[in-house]
Amino acid sequence: MSLEPDTSGLLEHLFRHQSGRVVAHLARVLGPSRLDLAEESMQEAMLRALQVWPYQGVPENAAGWLFRVAHNAAIDAIRRGKFLEQNMGVLVAELTRSLIGTTANGSGDDPDFERQLRDDELRMIFMCCHPAIARDSRVALSLKTVGGFSVREIARAFLADDAAIAQRLVRAKRQIRERELTLDMPHGADLERRLDSALETIYFIFNEGYSTHEGQDLIRKDLCFEALRLGRLLAGSSIATPRVQALVAVMALQAARLPARIDEAGDLILLEDQDRTRWDQGLIAMGFHYFDVSMSGDQVSEYHAQAAIAATHARAESLTTVDWPLILELYDQLLAVSGASPVVALNRAVAVAKVHGPAEGLAAIAELSGNPQLRDYYLLLAVRGHLLLELERREEAAACLRAALECRCSEPERRFLRRKLAQCEISV
């Protein structure tokens, strides 16, 4: 790795993001059944850049260059007859027309064209998140096609093997063909349903990136920021509703805590022990902005309640000024809108303990213990152990934490549990 400053002048993640945009644009022109051709053409453009730019330098408009070269690659592939189509002439004409669109003003930052590209990307998100596609495949397809992640990167982020991810992509593309999914923007009642599916997929990607796993691979942080980018893309479009804004607010406010969540040794730091000065103020400001916008209208979604909770944490200057009674109230609201999600109920129990004391918190947890979804969930046992320790019931606490260690959890989480366990044993 070079220690020299980055003087390449390339925007961060330019290739990844431009890949998503160009593929979306090409797929709209060529039709979703030729998604593979769109991807191959963009791949060829990036390879060309890799071969030429190191010697000749980065062209003035790097993004526009990639766009043009990918278009030409698609035109060449069609002309070579790789795809024997009756409408070859139409496709080539279409591609040529959109190519002229970019070169007309040379700079490629024509606002109309920019709008068109964003619209293409939006359509692609909706197609990738189509409810007809299984969720796992939806997630993989969105990351690959819109996010510009490779199969290997997705596999690493999800702790899956490459073949499994490749399989999900194959399935997704088959579903696109068989169900004849289009890149048309959904309308009316369908729009609501499709938007829900897109938001759910984006939030899933975010949470997957946010959950702590061994190594804290950079790729997981990238997942969070990709989800945030996709959310903002939806939020900036004409179809945005308050719950889209609320989802962006949740993601921004939670992502703000990423720098403070892990210490130098890679150990997990609980929210209450985090150094708040390390929270990202830019993301907090972004979160509050979207939160404010989400308040227009009278829609209260799950994301609104989540955003309100994250905002309450962000607003407090220190742990002692966290408004726990408000947080408890918000968890009650969240449970009311999201149904009885047991994980949300567990978080609520933590808020109960903060407001009414550890004994009440334990009682709230006791109600959850029978829930099959939380059986063998390390966090339930960890929270219980934590509260027992606060009540000085050390032996019970230790038993709980030992049981938690038996559950499936990541290595940083395991180390955290062992540290807690050591606290129980010190003064037994």
Partner 1 sequence: MPQYMLALYDDPSRWPSLSPEEMQKSLERYMAWGKRPYVVTGKRLAGDSGRVLKGADGKPRATDGPYSETKEVLGGIYLIEAKDYDEAVERTLDHPHLAHGTIEVRQLYS
Q: Would you state the structure tokens that stand for residue 192, as one six-digit string?
A: 């609501």
The rounded distance, in Å, linking the Cα atoms of 394 and 412 is 23
Residue showing tokens 């969240």: 334
In the complex, least distance from residue 47 CB atom to partner 1, rounded to whole angstroms: 6
Of 17 and 348, the one with the shorter C-beta distance to partner 1 is: 17
In the complex, least distance from residue 366 CB atom to partner 1, rounded to whole angstroms: 47
Mapping DSSP onto H, E and C, the string for 410-422 reads CHHHHHHHHHHHH
In the complex, least distance from residue 165 CB atom to partner 1, rounded to whole angstroms: 12
DSSP secondary structure of 313-375 = HHH-SSGGG--HHHHHHHHHHHHHHH---HHHHHHHHHHHHHHH-HHHHHHHHHHHTT-GGGT
The rounded distance, in Å, linking the Cα atoms of 45 and 65 is 8
List the one residue out of 314, 318, 321 whose CA is nearest residue 275: 318
Of 63 and 311, the one with the shorter C-beta distance to partner 1 is: 63
In the complex, least distance from residue 289 CB atom to partner 1, rounded to whole angstroms: 28
Helix, strand, coil shares of the chain as percentages rounded to 5?
75, 0, 25
Of 113 and 149, the one with the shorter C-beta distance to partner 1 is: 149
Residue ranges in contact with partner 1 by CB under 8 A: 1-2, 4-8, 10, 13-16, 18-19, 43, 46-47, 49-58, 148-150, 152-153, 222
In the complex, least distance from residue 225 CB atom to partner 1, rounded to whole angstroms: 12
Of 4 and 298, the one with the shorter C-beta distance to partner 1 is: 4
Q: What angle do CA 131, 135, 141 make, to 5 degrees?
A: 95
Of 166 and 391, the one with the shorter C-beta distance to partner 1 is: 166
Of 157 and 362, the one with the shorter C-beta distance to partner 1 is: 157
List the one residue out of 384, 393, 371, 370 whose CA is nearest residue 417: 384
In the complex, least distance from residue 154 CB atom to partner 1, rounded to whole angstroms: 9
In the complex, least distance from residue 410 CB atom to partner 1, rounded to whole angstroms: 24
Q: Would you state the structure tokens that stand for residue 301, as one six-digit string?
A: 């979604």
Of 19 and 241, the one with the shorter C-beta distance to partner 1 is: 19
